[in-house]
Amino acid sequence: MAFPDIRPRRLRRTPAIRRLVEETRLAPSELILPMFLKEGLTEPKPISSLPGVVQHTRESLRKAAAEAVAAGVGGLMLFGVPDNANKDETGSAGLDPDGILNVGLRDLRAELGDSTVIMSDLCLDEFTSHGHCGVLAGDGSVDNDATLKIYADMAVAQADAGAHMVGPSGMMDGQIGVIRRALDAAGHQDIAILAYSAKYAGAFYGPFREAVESTLQGDRRQYQQDPPNLREALREVDLDIAEGADIVMVKPALPYLDIIAAIRDRVTVPVAAYQVSGEYAMVEAAAANGWIDRERVILESLTSIKRAGAQITLTYWAVEAANLIRNR
């Protein structure tokens, strides 16, 4: 046989052959669409740093959610954006049954029923006047244990409003166990917990903070994870699973593919990743300047996240990616 004897290129020769041996395949049902519902809007409001993403009215939220489900997207993650006048030191609007997040959850459940997975962001940062993920102690630090009591009530309020799954994202110690016990005690044993187990205090969240009109004072490095640390993420995941997490998540995604892979190798529960606003915005900006092939980069980035080990991805491209996957 003429040199070379082994020719891997044979399996790359045509699109049909490449599809046949493809090792990682994206599916619309594995994508989750994050959505923002803004209190008091009369029409959708574009988010300047997230081209194509808007703050929704109640009406536009229902319409966009139905379109996402029709496209085959696997779930929706809802964030509530209250009027600044309704923010306070303890984030009380997040617990209010008539607050914007719980109203939105009821709207989605009434519109969609069980045809998709309705998820709720379980955190106080959108609702506090200081923008932190919990209540503050006298010295200005986030009071972990006082915050847990609020998270418990918030979880029950979101389950009452119709969430199939709650997403605790505040990175408080013990939050999963407290939330699980609160849900069970309220008769919500079937409500699942998507734990933001490895949420890093990185620099990729800027556009999201515009989307939720963040009032953050300072930073979140005292409770979110330090970007250089991997073993710390494994410890957090172990604790969350022991406390009752049904799914564990890494946030952000692309800068932390090694974390996703390490967690996938360690656990038997589903692993998710959040392709955050900064990841989205960088691609959109580069594409707007003609520097990259936008659609190919969208699919390549999502493929890399799945290849690393995430079977679920939260992405602002969920609907568009679902259509691209279906039409490949």
**Inter-axis angle of helices 231-243 and 257-266, nearest 10:** 50
- Could you give the residue ranges of the DSSP H alpha helices within the chain? 15-21, 58-70, 100-112, 144-161, 175-185, 206-211, 231-243, 257-266, 277-288, 294-308, 318-326
Q: Could you tell me if 253 and 273 are in contact, meaning their C-beta atoms sit under 8 angstroms apart?
A: yes
What the block records as the tokens of 275 is 């392709």
Can you tell me which residue has the tokens 């016990």? 181
Name residue 167's beta-bridge partners.
121
Cα dihedral 302, 211, 217, 133, rounded to 10, equals: -60
Name residue 67's beta-bridge partners.
none
Q: Could you tell me if 283 and 301 are in contact, meaning their C-beta atoms sit under 8 angstroms apart?
A: yes
Task: Tell how far CA 258 is from the center of its chain.
Answer: 18
Active-site residue, 87 included: no
Which residue among 38, 87, 251, 306 is the active-site one?
A: 251
What the block records as the tokens of 103 is 């109203």
Active-site residue, 63 included: no
3 φ/ψ angles, rounded to the nearest 5 degrees: -65, 140
Which residue among 38, 87, 199, 306 is the active-site one?
A: 199
| Catalytic residue list | 199, 251
